[in-house]
């Protein structure tokens, strides 16, 4: 049996601002040459040695990496990074990162994409991102999709911050069944590590657009 690739650590910033159309988040389209080619993502990247904090936890280093990568990829500073989730990728992923997701507040700097990594940057509402994804114009990854789904209920930055509770851990497992391809997380009836009761759902169905999120 093939052993999973070792886990590295990364930090991601879900940068928020209040826009004319409502709550907006900074979305970046990655280049075709690097990781997640062509996908629209939040700024972020792996933890480097400079991100480590003496006596600090992995979360602290990931928070520093999220802020640093946001500046490197988009040229903006952020503040008030608040942990919202931690994501562990499927065992079959070739290069695996345990990624910590943080809300971050925009400080009003002009976004300047690093064109070695980023092809395009835009401030978008979650609704706008989902419309683009449903039409096939935007490529998303499941952690990005689920995080944006969680923003749909909020109209302002303050609302989003006020709603932050206990950080969630998403241990992702891929399933290919007769009904199609889906990913599951803890609480779903077929999750191999932390299954819920019969009929319980915590899954994202990927075969057709728009994707369908089920959580009970």
Q: Is the pLDDT of residue 198 over 80?
A: yes
Structural domain count, the chain: 1
Query: What Å distances lie between residue 104 and 21, 25, 205, 209, CA to CA?
Result: 19, 9, 28, 29
Spatial separation of the C-alpha atoms in residues 38 and 32, rounded to whole Å: 5
Let me know if residue 84 belongs to a domain: yes
Let me know if residue 194 belongs to a domain: no
Look up the pTM and report it. 0.95
Let me know if residue 169 belongs to a domain: no
Q: Which of 47-56, 63-72, 89-98 has the highest mean pLDDT?
A: 63-72
Q: Cite the beta strand spans of the chain per DSSP E.
A: 7-19, 22-30, 40-41, 44-46, 78-88, 96-106, 118-124, 168-171, 173-177, 180-184, 202-205, 212-215
Of 32 and 88, the structure prediction assigns the larger pLDDT to 88
- The answer to which of 29-33, 154-158, 195-199 has the lowest mean pLDDT is 29-33
Let me know if residue 29 belongs to a domain: yes
Q: Is the pLDDT of residue 49 over 90?
A: yes
Spatial separation of the C-alpha atoms in residues 81 and 103, rounded to whole Å: 5
Let me know if residue 176 belongs to a domain: no
Let me know if residue 57 belongs to a domain: yes
Question: Looking at residue 3, what is its pLDDT?
Answer: 67
Question: Looking at residue 116, what is its pLDDT?
Answer: 85
Question: Span 130-159, mean pLDDT?
Answer: 98
Q: The domain containing residue 43 runs over which residues?
A: 7-125
DSSP-based three-state secondary structure for 57:
coil
- CATH number of the domain residue 105 falls in: 3.90.79.10
Let me know if residue 55 belongs to a domain: yes
Question: Looking at residue 148, what is its pLDDT?
Answer: 98
Let me know if residue 66 belongs to a domain: yes
């Amino acid at each position: 049996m093939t052993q999973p690739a070792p886990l590295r650590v990364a930090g991601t910033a879900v940068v928020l601002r209040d826009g004319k159309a409502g709550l907006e988040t900074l979305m970046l389209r990655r280049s075709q040459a690097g990781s997640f080619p062509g996908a629209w993502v939040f700024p972020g990247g792996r933890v480097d040695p400079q991100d480590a904090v003496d006596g600090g936890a992995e979360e602290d280093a990931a928070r520093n990496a999220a802020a640093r990568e946001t500046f490197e990829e988009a040229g903006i500073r952020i503040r008030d990074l608040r942990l919202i989730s931690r994501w562990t990728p499927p065992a079959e992923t070739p290069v695996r990162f345990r990624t910590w997701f943080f809300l971050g507040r925009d400080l009003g700097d002009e976004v300047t994409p690093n064109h070695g990594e980023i092809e395009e940057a835009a401030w978008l509402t979650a609704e706008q991102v989902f419309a683009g994804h449903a039409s096939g114009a935007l490529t998303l990854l499941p952690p990005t999709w689920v995080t944006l789904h969680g923003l749909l209920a909020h109209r302002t930055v303050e609302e989003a911050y006020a709603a932050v509770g206990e950080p969630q851990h998403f241990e992702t497992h891929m399933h290919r069944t007769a009904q199609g391809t889906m990913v599951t997380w803890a609480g779903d009836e077929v999750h191999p590590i932390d299954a819920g009761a019969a009929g319980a759902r915590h899954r994202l169905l990927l075969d057709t657009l728009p994707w369908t999120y089920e959580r009970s």
